[in-house]
Amino acid sequence: MKKKSITSPPIVSIQHWKSKKGMHVYFVQRPEIPIVDIDIFFNAGSSMDEKKQGLSHITSAMLNQGTRSYDADDIANKFADVGAHFQMHSTKDNASVSLKCLSEKKYFNLAFKLFLEILYSAQFPKTAFSRRQKQIFSTLQMQEQTPSYIAQNAFSQALYGKHPYAHNLCGTKEAVMSLTRNDAEYFYQQYYVLSNATLIIVGNISRHDVEKNVARIEDSFPVGKEAPITPNAVSFRNKVQTFIPFPSEQTTIWMGHLGMEYHDPDYYAIHIGNDILGGSSITSRLFKKIRGEHGLVYGINSAFQFFNARGFFLIHFATQNSTAKKALNLTKSILDHYIDKGPTEKEFLLAKQKINHEFPLSIATNHDIIHYLMQIGFYKLPLDYIDTYRANISAISLNEVKTALKKHIKPDEMIKIIVGGSG
């Protein structure tokens, strides 16, 4: 990833420090709105499930189901009483716990106290655990009847093989029903610890108050150990094409291969190149050709997905069964030509202008800023990533984009998952 030096005032003034017990803290003060957003990210995603698939997800989903002092209804009511919103979320790489609340101290203090209690004394009640298992089981049943999920799961399995990223975040029906509350409790105790945490606070709060609240977190939490490093994914299966019969009027297609890392020097060049190809819906080549000129799809997108241990490049769309072969061949033809010749200078200049003009909208809210701070903190991006973003986009040349596309997109190595139709 390139890095430009910026001497003008920062777009977002990020304060970063390590707490006394080693937790990374990222803070942005935004006094414009009387709201504080707090997110704690733990290196506790599904890549840490090991042989217990779905364990990260169910552990995260259980956090608001009871503490030493309150049951799930108490927790929901107490947050509602002070106008606060508590949420849990998990991905392949991490699990997060977030709080959005009013900054007025009489509300904030009550919300933060409950937030802390959930974090350090989640109890995993047996009845609630059983209920969550059944809910996840139902979700997995729904996924088995949804072509996009079928394609997604098959794509991950074909792409990653035995790597920790291969399995569904929720696990399998058999795996999730075999989990126990003791499994979740152990996962929680092992991974929801200070050494494994990144704290992000954005909103109407002072640095002094943030430091006091960091101390409260540290007084409540065990230090623990950092999670093991997720092994880097390697390409091992090329040119795989899998047809999965499904009784639907449309065929869903996912096609792609292993991608790149955040720190790759071609990061900005590939962002511009992909925006032109299929990242920018209605102005992209894929959309204009396959939807606009041929009317074969409702929508088509391409994207680079980034993970801690190498993500993937993906093109996906759905089309009528009768046009699936034509749409797939046309997509391949457009992709081959684009990688061979690259974008035109007009496409290139318009894409850079569009990306830079849209960027301020992507940091408009607390939630938006937290998203970027998560990338900076969790994926170890430069602290001035936001401030230098547009300069780094502007600095990219057309030749750099063409070179990056040839290096990072390999049409002949794509895994193709086709769900529905006649094959």
* pLDDT per residue as tens digits for the range 71-99: 999 999 999 999 999 999 999 999 999 99
Per-residue pLDDT, 5 = 52
| % the chain with pLDDT above 70 | 97
CA dist 306 and 165 (Å) reads: 12
Number of domains the chain is built from:
2
Could you tell me which residues come within 8 angstroms of residue 288 by beta carbon, excluding any fewer than 6 positions away?
A: 282
CATH number for the domain harbouring residue 84: 3.30.830.10
Burial of residue 141 (number of CB atoms within 10 Å: 0-12, 13-18, 19+): exposed
| Residue 216 lies in domain | 15-220
Residue 138 tokens read as 């139902």
Which residue among 151, 185, 220 closes a domain? Answer: 220
Q: Are strands 415-419 and 312-320 parallel, antiparallel or unpaired?
A: unpaired
In whole angstroms, give the CA distance from residue 252 to residue 255: 10
241-244 and 85-90 strand pairing: unpaired
Instruction: Give percent helix, percent strand, percent coil of the chain, each to the nearest 5.
Output: 50, 20, 35
pLDDT beyond 90 at 334: yes
Q: Verify that 21 and 158 share a domain, yes or no.
A: yes
**Domain contains 203:** yes
C-alpha to C-alpha distance for 373 and 11, rounded to whole angstroms: 13
Tens digit of each residue's pLDDT (9 = 90 or more) over 4-50: 555 467 889 999 999 999 899 999 999 999 999 999 999 999 999 99
Which among 220, 253, 287 is the end of a domain?
Answer: 220
Confidence of residue 238 (pLDDT cuts 50, 70, 90): low
What one-letter code names the amino acid at 422?
A: S
Tokens 């991608």 sit at which residue?
259
Distance from C-alpha of 332 to C-alpha of 318, rounded to nearest angstrom: 15
pLDDT reading at 56 higher than 90:
yes
Q: Domain check: are 161 and 246 in the same one?
A: no
Q: How many residues does the chain have?
A: 423
